Structure 1
Amino acid sequence: MCTLTLAWQVFDDAPVAVAANRDEALERESISPGIYREEPLAVAPKDTEAGGTWIGYNEHGVFAGITNKWTDAELVAERSRGLLVADVLAADSAATAAETIEAATETDEYDGFNLVVADESAAYCYQWDGDLSRIEFEPGVQVIVNAAVNDTVHLPSDRLVIAREQADNANAVRAALTVDGDESVSQWLERAGDVLGDHEYGVCLHRDGFGTRSSSLIALGPETTQYSFAPGPPCETAYEPVSLESNAPSEVEAECDVEGHI
């Protein structure tokens, strides 16, 4: 997943609200969101190749979502990043997820990542480029992409131009998704879905063999849980409420992938 937008502690009824596009290789299949595990109950899509996930939440109100992190470091991907997201979805809080992430990066090496973890009380982005660091979010709208976390930008030497373009696109998304006055979380998510599918912002991708495969809209709160999912690029695929009754073969993402391999 390559664009993740988090509105944290912005809406009283949903302290965690997320709008995110997943970019992947077109040939890599995955199963649309459903019950990923039962103890604790976690809701997430599933990568059929490595068995992990790139986005989801659990019964404790913990959200986790990952993007690539472009880096100059030479990393050996000993373990899928998607399995780390699945590990985090077993945590009972964003705070305790830190222990899971720190232990995992001590024992295994991963490709570079930005891993966002949030609940109603805390929100972080863990960055991995061979070393683990953490950005603590303040309340507001955050945008995370391969090259940037809000205003923290890394331009790898082999992708200077595209990384700068991506960071600029992320800033445009962040500005567009500033919450308007008394806007509700449902209204914000609807608007966010439109932004993620608007090619003016450059975050809905269509390339040869790679592209935006799916998009997720999530709201979490003490009395609010919403998850809508588009199994294809949001420019041409409608968001539908996620059903937790089954993960049928028909729920495999539509064919439209990109780089990432999470």
Structure 2
Amino acid sequence: MCLIVFAWKLLPDTPLVVAANRDEYYARAASEAHHWQDKPGIFAGRDLQSHGTWLGIRSLSQDALQATKFAAVTNVRAPSEPLESARSRGELVSSFLENDISAAEYVRQLAACDDEYNGYNLLVNDGQDMIWYSNRHRDNAKNGIALAPGIYGVSNAALDTCWHKVVRTKAEFASLICQLAPQDAFFEMLSNTTQAPDCRLPDTGISFERERLLSSPCIVSQDYGTRVSTLLRIHHDGSTEFMEKTLR
């Protein structure tokens, strides 16, 4: 379960700004963002269980980040549909980043193996197009096509679903973008632990108490919660700022 908000082609000098939280069980081992030695070109955090990632970039330089691609994934919350033999959704990100393939061609190829994964939302960007693709929201008009310039948000339902934390974080993110706010302001936004009012909770098939727990932008519990926050800025010339704050 995660939260991603992003601005696409709104700032002339910085076409992509991403702010994201990665939520996971605390016991699942992971490493901070780094250059992957076994897959040169990938700069990302890494899930040490399945060896994929939740968010990363392609940067061939080891000295200064120069992003040519971006990708990120979130789970679709559907507790009644778990596929025990499913492939890791983290490989969707790393596979796009390591291969010379456009965003549009990549999502076309994924359509042939939709049923091999549990539900996901995938964001892929090749510098030209930003595409959201989900194997659980095939009828959504935005699914699988290049997004228009704008501010978007995705958690564990379809892109821009009106979940309280998505709507609230998108609005604050838009304000920070307009102000050209410093990075600390974005991390403060991502650290918000305020839960949604009970009347605004979605019904995704889990318990009411669990819906409430998962409704805040930043999740805190005994065994599960927000593990890392990321702020990414990819500038027009490819120069990239990748800032990460590890929480657990």
Contact 1:220-1:226 at 8 Å conserved across structures? yes
Alpha-carbon deviations, 1:152-175, whole Å to 9, x = none?
A: 46xxxxxxxxxxxxx111101111
Deviation at 1:147, TM superposition (A): 2.5
CA displacement at 1:120 relative to structure 2: 3.2
Tell me the residue number matched to 1:209: 223
1:208 offset after TM fit, Å? Answer: 2.5
1:191–1:10 distance in 2 versus 1, CA, 3 Å: farther
TM-score (norm 2): 0.76
Count of aligned pairs between the two proteins: 215
1:177 CA drift (Å): 1.3
Alpha-carbon contact 2:176-2:185 (below 8 Å) kept: no
Match of residue 156 from structure 2: 146
Deviation at 1:61, TM superposition (A): 1.8
The aligned runs of 1:61-210 (5 Å cut-off) are 61-71=68-78, 74-76=81-83, 77-92=85-100, 93-103=102-112, 105=113, 109-129=116-136, 133-134=143-144, 136-150=146-160, 152=161, 167-179=163-175, 183-184=179-180, 187=181, 189-200=183-194, 202-210=216-224
Q: Distance in 1 between matches of 2:185 and 2:32?
A: 22
TM-aligned CA distance change 1:38 to 1:61, over 3 Å: farther
Question: How far, CA to CA, are the matches of 2:14 and 2:177 in structure 1?
Answer: 16
Deviation per residue, 1:82-135 (Å, 9 max, x gap): 1121101124432333244335x25x6111111111243211111123969535
Could you tell me which runs of 5 or more consecutive residues in structure 2 were left unpaired when the two chains were aligned. Answer: 60-66, 196-215
Report the alpha carbon displacement of residue 149 of structure 1 after superposing the two structures with TM. 1.5
Confirm or deny: 8 A CA contact 1:36 1:42 kept in the other structure.
yes
Unaligned runs of 5+ in 1: 154-166, 233-253, 255-262
**SS of residue matched to 2:132:** strand
CA distance in 2, matches of 1:72, 1:136: 29
Show the counterpart of 2:32: 32
Calculate percent identity across the aligned residue pairs. 29
* Alpha-carbon distance change, 111 to 130 in structure 1, aligned in 2, over 3 angstroms: farther
8 A contact 2:88–2:117 mirrored in 1: yes
- CA offsets, 1:203-258, max 9 Å, x none? 111112101011111111324200011111xxxxxxxxxxxxxxxxxxxxx3xxxx
**Within 2, Cα distance between the matches of 1:69 and 1:189?**
28
TM-score by length of 1: 0.73
Which segments of structure 1 move beyond 3 Å, counting only runs of 4 or more?
Answer: 37-40, 130-133, 179-184
Amino acid in structure 2 at the alignment position of 1:227: F
Q: Aligned ranges for residues 227-242 of structure 1 at < 5 Å?
A: 227-232=242-247
Deviation track 1:136-163 (CA, whole Å, cap 9, x = no partner) reads: 422111110002411x46xxxxxxxxxx
Q: Which has the higher contact order (CA 8 A, sep 6+)?
A: 1
